[in-house]
Amino acid sequence: MKKEVGLSNILVGILYFILGILFLTATSELIKTFNYVLVSICMIIGLMQLLQFFLNKKYINGNYTDLFIAVVFIWVSLILYVYYRVMINILPILFSLYLFIVACNMLIKYIEFKDVMGIDRKKYLFLFFIAIGIGLLLIFNPGSMIFTYLKVTGIYLIVMSILYFYDCFKLFRK
């Protein structure tokens, strides 16, 4: 268990560190790139759902869920591609969603690590409350201050990566 937790902490720490650096150095080109990546992901999901609908012949059973999902994802990708400014306006909301997911992850780690010796669980609870706070701030005050939020989120991700590396170091020392 220690080896798996340590390897997981190293990988997540590296990814969070890289993402944090990207957010700290965010420019308008990064936001445009993020928009194009999101458009591509939505289009791929839509096309895969459409293929799955026709290949599995779900229309025979009257199951149109995959078709509905495909149309929605394709529609969203086209809207995001055409209306780039919409993406800029909803980006804080998307980041708040990400922070809520991170907060849930921190709460799960806080609960899961109660049986693992040598890990200080309080920092996960602390990170949970920080992520919830920043996420709520992004929802209720999205404004045009996206770069400030990206920098704050970048700092948060770098702190999280350092804590992951610290946990890994502490775990491997024992």
pLDDT tops 60 at residue 1? no
pLDDT of amino acid 142: 67
pLDDT of amino acid 26: 76
The answer to whether the CB of 150 falls within 8 A of the CB of 23 is: yes
* 56-90 b/e (C-beta count within 10 Å ≥ 16 → b): eeeeeeeeeebbebbeebbebbeebbeeeeebbee
- For 19-44, the pLDDT digits (tens) are 888 888 877 777 778 778 888 888 99
pTM above 0.75, yes or no: no
Report CA-CA distances (Å) from 84 to 32, 46, 152: 8, 19, 23
